[in-house]
């Protein structure tokens, strides 16, 4: 199943895409927008796997919308103009559909998106207890657990803080916790999962990892204290 939104300024084209989505049992349409500005305001509230995106729109273009998003789901360009091949490559779009869109062509693009999603899930499932893969700029990046300092929840996104780089992924701490099967990572607050091996100080209701002060909630503190060696 793909959670999908439509971004299309032309009413008839938008309604056509909505009908195509309704005919597909493997698509859940969670939003339909006539401009990119509305998407900017609402996308953080939605769990989006796929954007059906018109490239040329009044005001903010589809390309400008992509540049403004910190995390990109899969993208399918829907456009009357075939001159966006470079952008399609640059943003690693799943497919590029020329209007008018037929059901057959639409299904071909959706099948590509489903295949990509399945491959991503397979990569995550194959990850060992010592590493995790995240998607960034169209690539899958392997991050060993011993490089991760902590995970921080920010709205509908999660920051992965490492020694070298910070990454932002779409998801929740709950999904991260389910994926990480390593006892050295524990949740200490509704917004934080920390690597216990990186904790340098614990005092009252806070802990420190590389000068970052992280709160400890009352409900999570007993689990934290049970997980560390106290002399």
Q: What is the pLDDT of residues 200-216, one digit of tens each?
A: 999 989 999 999 999 99
Q: Read off the pLDDT of each residue in 113-117 and give the average, rounded to a whole number.
A: 90
| Residue 218, pLDDT score | 87
What single DSSP character describes residue 101?
A: P
Type and span of the H or E element at 221: helix 221-227
Task: Give the residue from 11, 1, 27, 3 showing the smallest Cα distance to 106.
Answer: 27
DSSP H helical ranges for 159-220: 173-179
For 73-110, write each residue's pLDDT tens digit: 889 999 887 776 677 777 778 999 989 999 999 999 99
b/e 154-169 (16+ beta carbons within 10 angstroms → b): eeeebbbbbeeeebbb
User: Based on the domain organization, do 137 and 214 belong to the same domain?
Assistant: yes
User: Based on the domain organization, do 45 and 94 belong to the same domain?
Assistant: yes
For 24-72, write each residue's pLDDT tens digit: 999 999 999 999 999 988 887 888 899 999 998 999 999 888 887 766 7
Out of 107, 125, 143, a domain closes at: 125
Out of 125, 142, 168, a domain closes at: 125
Percent of the chain with pLDDT over 90: 48
User: Based on the domain organization, do 117 and 38 belong to the same domain?
Assistant: yes
Residue 106: other Cβ atoms inside 10 A:
23
User: Based on the domain organization, do 90 and 198 belong to the same domain?
Assistant: no
CB 209 within 8 A of CB 202: no
Q: CATH number for the domain including 92? A: 3.40.50.2300
Type and span of the H or E element at 167: strand 166-170
User: Based on the domain organization, do 79 and 109 belong to the same domain?
Assistant: yes
User: Based on the domain organization, do 110 and 205 belong to the same domain?
Assistant: no
Q: pLDDT category, 221, cuts 50, 70, 90? A: confident
Which token pair is 218? 């009352």
CB 91 within 8 A of CB 72: yes
- Quote the Cα angle for 130-73-170, to 5°: 50
| Residue 17, pLDDT score | 96
User: Based on the domain organization, do 117 and 160 belong to the same domain?
Assistant: no
Out of 80, 101, 125, a domain closes at: 125
Judge whether residue 140 has pLDDT over 90: no
- The distance in angstroms from the start CA to the end CA of the chain is 50
Point out the least confidently predicted range of 17-31, 49-63, 123-137, 152-166: 123-137
| Residue 128, pLDDT score | 61
| Residue 39, pLDDT score | 92
User: Based on the domain organization, do 119 and 145 belong to the same domain?
Assistant: no
- φ, ψ of residue 56 in degrees (nearest 5): -100, 110
Judge whether residue 6 has pLDDT over 90: yes
| Cα 141–chain centre separation | 14
Q: Read off the pLDDT of each residue in 170-187 and give the average, rounded to a whole number.
A: 80
Into how many domains does the chain fold?
2
Q: pLDDT category, 175, cuts 50, 70, 90? A: confident
Q: How far apart are CA 154 and CA 133, in angstroms?
A: 19
User: Based on the domain organization, do 25 and 54 belong to the same domain?
Assistant: yes
What global pTM score does this model have?
A: 0.63
User: Based on the domain organization, do 65 and 115 belong to the same domain?
Assistant: yes
Q: What is the mean pLDDT of the chain?
A: 87
| Residue 127, pLDDT score | 59
Beta-bridge mates of residue 187: 193
Residue 116 structural domain: 2-125
Q: What is the CA radius of gyration of the chain?
A: 21
Q: How far apart are CA 186 and CA 134, in angstroms?
A: 19
User: Based on the domain organization, do 108 and 201 belong to the same domain?
Assistant: no
User: Based on the domain organization, do 52 and 70 belong to the same domain?
Assistant: yes
In the chain the beta strands, taken as DSSP E runs, fall at 2-7, 27-33, 50-54, 74-79, 95-98, 131-136, 139-144, 148-154, 157-162, 166-170, 185-189, 192-195, 201-203, 206-209, 212-215
Percent of the chain with pLDDT over 70: 92
Judge whether residue 138 has pLDDT over 90: no
């Amino acid at each position: 199943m793909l959670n999908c939104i439509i971004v299309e300024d032309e009413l008839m084209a938008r309604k056509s895409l909505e009908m195509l989505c309704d005919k597909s049992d493997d698509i859940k349409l969670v939003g339909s927008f006539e401009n990119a500005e509305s998407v900017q305001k609402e996308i953080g509230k939605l769990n989006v796997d796929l954007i059906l995106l018109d490239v040329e729109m009044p005001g903010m273009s589809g390309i400008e919308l992509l540049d403004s998003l910190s995390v990109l789901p899969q993208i399918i360009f829907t456009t009357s103009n075939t001159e966006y091949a470079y952008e399609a490559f640059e943003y690693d779009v799943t497919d590029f559909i020329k209007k008018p869109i037929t059901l057959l062509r639409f299904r071909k693009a959706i099948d590509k998106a489903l295949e990509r999603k399945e491959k991503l899930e397979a990569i995550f499932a194959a990850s060992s207890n010592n590493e995790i893969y995240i998607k960034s700029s169209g690539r899958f990046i392997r991050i060993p657990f011993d490089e991760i300092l902590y995970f921080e929840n920010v709205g509908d996104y999660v920051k992965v803080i490492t020694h070298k780089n910070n990454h932002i992924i779409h998801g929740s701490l709950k999904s991260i916790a389910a994926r990480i099967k390593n006892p050295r990572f524990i949740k200490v607050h509704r917004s934080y999962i920390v690597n216990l091996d990186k904790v340098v100080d614990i005092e009252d209701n806070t802990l420190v990892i590389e000068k970052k002060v992280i709160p400890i909630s009352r409900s999570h503190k007993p689990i934290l204290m049970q997980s560390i060696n106290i002399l």
